[in-house]
Amino acid sequence: KAKKQQAPMFRAVSATGSDVWAGGSALYHSQDAGLHWIRVVPASAGTMLTGEIVRLEFVDLQHGKVSTSTAEIWTTADDGQTWQKQ
Q: Tell me how far apart the 2 most distant CA atoms of the chain are, in Å.
A: 45
Partnered with residue 34 across adjacent β-strands are none
pLDDT, tens digit only, all 86 positions of the chain: 666 667 778 899 999 999 999 999 999 999 999 999 999 999 998 999 999 999 999 999 999 999 999 999 999 999 999 999 99
Gap between the Cα atoms of 44 and 72, Å rounded: 13
pLDDT at position 12 is 96
The length of the chain in residues reads 86
Between β-strands 27-30 and 73-76, what pairing exists: parallel, antiparallel or unpaired?
Answer: unpaired
- So what's the pLDDT on residue 8? 72
